[in-house]
Structure 1
Amino acid sequence: MNITIFYPLILLSLTPFRADRVEIVKEDGKSIVYLFGNVTIEQESTTITCLEAQLNETDGLVLLKDSILIKNPDGEIKAENAIYYFESRTGFLRRNVALSRRDQVITADSLDYDGIKKFLRMWGNIKIEDLRNEQIAYGEEGWYDIGEEKGSLKKNPHLEISRKDKSPMLIRAREFFLLNKENKFYGYDSIEGTIDSITIYCDTMEYNLKEDHGFLKRPIVREKKNELQGDFGEFLLREKNLEYFKVFNGTGNYWTKEGSQNIVSGDTITILFKENRAFRVWIEGSPKGVLILKEKENAKD
């Protein structure tokens, strides 16, 4: 049995839909509804629009194609290809996937969506924009709980933290754990961060985006020839400008304008910054130091 209808139609079924053209085909004892052009499908709080669809009401699913838009209380999801299950509110979306909700935008090549658990799994060119904290997270594989606003990114993940008129703070790691609702993130393993001319290397990083306050494990901080390292560390930004760097049980190696080298150690070493330049070194607890003066050029006996 094959029925083809060439004008807009609303069928009285469990799943209301509209389309420019509708074909109803009997396949293996199931009625498959083919929808073409300006497709709209509605069920409870979910509205789906696209250019082409195959509705299988027996199995409670719909195959979607081209310019897909799914709207529900969680936000809006766009894609080019998708399978959506009505009862479980799960979707498998492919190609140019984008989910927008309140102050978050999540994009990926592929995304699996669980509307009941509010849980996402993502693959390929992942981008999570936290508009509230002006942070963008990138990766190639990850998951995200859109209810709790937390998730993980792996496979070459990196973060950008906006600083208005300044270059963003950049951070790379093997894995990031995002706690966007709490305005925090954690970075794990082989971390490399950049703030202006300063480069940070450490094992783990915790950063509070609201306070611009970071905590580090086994940090090494470098700026040109200067270096600071310790067992633990922390740093603070004030109005997005670096205010201080601090290490515990640390050592420092820095050079003066005159070309002399200072090697210092102590329980706590703090470097204070003004206008993005270090201007004071403060050592507390068993301070030790060596000053190596610059040799004069053309020195005579």
Structure 2
Amino acid sequence: MPIYIYWGDDDYLIERSINLLRDTVVHPEWQIFNFSRYQFGEDNFRAARNDILTPPMGEGGRLVLLSNLGEFKAIDETKIEQLSRTLVNIPDSNHLLLTSKSKLDNRLKFTKLISQYAQVKEFSLIPAWDTQKLTNRVKEVSRELSISISDEAANLLAVSVGNNTRLLFNELEKLSLVAVDSEVEVYLMKSLVSIATTNTLQLAKAICVKDVSTATQVFTTLLSQNEPIVKIVATLTTSFRTWLIVKAMVAEGVLDNYTIATAAGVGNPNRVYYLKQEISAISINRLKQVLYQLLELEILAKLGGTESLFTSHIISLCTA
């Protein structure tokens, strides 16, 4: 009675893994009878239990998917008892898959029960700032798709797609059509990957180091990709606010990365090391000045303005 729990916020990777499991377990000609999918809820909980106890029709096995597990809070003692009886009676040919956006609370009786039987896999998005992990993900997916890719090309693709897993698979699958028995190099990727190698975090870094040329180029590209100006400003504000908090705490002599991460609202304390490197040459006063000017740009963005006017503000941010 194989049971699985897939959790995390990488929706594409979870959906892809669901499809792979379905294609492995369920015979393609019997999927309409042997694959059932439910949203977690009162009525669906009962229907899913009935399905998972029903032997498959025809060839292959049966797969029952109960999604959005974390959204269903009312798992009372009666349901836990019902599930307990169900789990020990699932036919060997049947597979139960539960998905959740967040990690299940290990303190709950339901979690303790299901964890006795389930294989748990995490599918969380890699932070957009963690270039090394993004590059490693590119290499992992390349191996999965039997594509050979150079380190330089993998790094460039990681910067290009960020943590957009769907886009990563799409671009690598496109490259696989032409890179037969050969390694994907930077020149080939640039000729086939149409996406721009820019994001708002790059814009923030360019402003931080006063690189006017790169900042204006990245900003123009973002607008051409229909990135909302309000969203760009919000991301810039978050980046500079985080840098300011880190810079201020370092200036006060705080050395513990966990303490700094908590104050700055950074989920991963390991990121603090990289943040310190990014702001090593920028003063607290300049960080404050940039934040003040970003507030002005936010007001302008909400009131409406032209691209040339927004670009002028980006240049001004670089020279602050």
TM range (shorter): under 0.3
Q: Which has the higher helix share?
A: 2
Higher relative contact order (CA 8 A, sep 6+): 2
- Using the size of structure 1 for normalisation, the TM-score is 0.20
Q: Computing the radius of gyration over CA atoms, which structure comes out larger, 1 or 2?
A: 1
Q: Which has the higher strand share?
A: 1
